[in-house]
Amino acid sequence: MLGGAGRNVAIASLSTVVFFTVLILVVVNAPGWENVKHAFFDPAEFRRYFKTIAHAFVLNIKVFLVAEVLILTFAMGLAVVRSLPGPVFFPLRLIAIIYTDVFRGIPTILLVYLFGFGIPALHLAHVPNDPVKLGGFALVVIYVAYVAEVYRAGIVSVHPSQEAAARSLGLTRGQTLRTVILPQAVRRVIPPLLNDFIGLQKDTALLAVLGPVEALQRANIAAASEFNYTPYVATAFFFVVITIPQARFTDWLINRQNRRQMAGGQI
C-alpha cells in the first residue's frame, strides 16, 4: 500500500487523467466536432495566416508598450492626488474621484469609438487625426482610472506607522511619500498591475473598429476571405504567448522581493 503523500499523488494523477480523457472524448465525439475542427482548428489555414497576423500584431505591441508607460505615469499622479489629505485638496480629490468613476464605467469600445471618430470630426487644429493615436489615447484614459485604483490600494496598504516614523525623522510629506510610502506601495501591487496590463494588451484589439489593420482586423479579413475562423485562433495564440512570459516574470519579481524582505530568514 502507498503511504500518505504517494497515495495523494497517485489519486491526483488518476483523477487528472480521467477528467481530461472524458473531456476530450466528449468534445471529439460531439456530432459537430468535424465541422468545428475544420472551422476553427484547420492547420493549413493556421500556417497560411500565421505570418501576416504576426506582422499585424506588431502594431498591437507598439500600442500597448507606449500606452503602458503613459498609464503608469498618469495613474500614479491620479492615485497621489486622490490620497492627498486635508480639506484644502478636496476639489482635487473630487476631480480624481469623478474621473475614476466615469472612465472605469464607460465601456472601452465606446470610448475608442468616441475618440477615434469624434475628435477628428471637431476639425481642431494640431489635434492628431491618426486612429492609432486616438484609439491608444482612449485606452490610456480608461486604464489610468483602473491602475490609479490599484496604486491607491497599495498606498492605503502601507501602515500609517510608516508615515509617522518617516515624519518624526524629519522628512517632509513629499519626501515621505516618495521615499517611504510609494516604494512599498508599488511593490505590493505589481501582480494586480500586471493583471491590468494583460487586459490592456487584449484591448488593443479594439482599435480594429477605427480602421487600423492590427492582429484582430487582419484575422477578420482572413476569416471573411476563407469563411473559416482559424485566423481568429491564430490571433488568440499571439495574445496568449505574450502574456505567459509576463506572468512568469511577475512570479519571479514577487519571489525575489519576498527573499529580500525575509533577508534569509524563514517562517
CB of 32 to another protein, least distance (A): 6
Contact positions with another protein (CB under 8 A) in 40-59: 40
Judged by CB under 8 A, the number of residues near another protein is 28
Which cell is 6 given? 504517494
CB of 222 to another protein, least distance (A): 9
Question: What gap in Å lies between CA 245 and CA 61, rounded to an integer?
Answer: 14
b/e map 214-233, b = 16+ CB within 10 Å: bbbbbbebbbeebebbbbbb
Examine residue 211 and tell whether it contacts another protein (CB under 8 A): yes
Question: What gap in Å lies between CA 202 and CA 198, rounded to an integer?
Answer: 6
Q: Rank residues 149 and 214 by Cβ distance to another protein and give the closer one.
A: 214
Q: Rank residues 44 and 247 by Cβ distance to another protein and give the closer one.
A: 44
Please choose, from the candidates 189, 231, 195, the residue with its C-alpha nearest in 3D space to the C-alpha of residue 76: 189
Examine residue 36 and tell whether it contacts another protein (CB under 8 A): yes
Q: Rank residues 225 and 246 by Cβ distance to another protein and give the closer one.
A: 225
DSSP 202-260: HHGGGGGGGS---HHHHHHHHHHHHT-SHHHHHHHHHHHHHHHHHHHHHHHHHHHHHHH
The correct pick among 175, 225, 255, 257 for binding another protein (CB under 8 A) is 225
Examine residue 233 and tell whether it contacts another protein (CB under 8 A): no
In this structure, are residues 116 and 138 in contact, taking their beta carbons and an 8 Å threshold?
Answer: yes
117-156 footprint of another protein as x/- string (CB under 8 A): x--xx-------xxx-------------------------
Give the chain's radius of gyration (CA, Å): 24
Q: Which single residue is written with the C-alpha cell 487600423?
A: 212
Examine residue 231 and tell whether it contacts another protein (CB under 8 A): no
Q: Which single residue is written with the C-alpha cell 519571479?
A: 252
Q: Rank residues 194 and 208 by Cβ distance to another protein and give the closer one.
A: 208
Examine residue 101 and tell whether it contacts another protein (CB under 8 A): no
The binding site for another protein (CB under 8 A) comprises: 32, 35-36, 38-40, 117, 120-121, 129-131, 208-213, 217, 220-221, 223-229
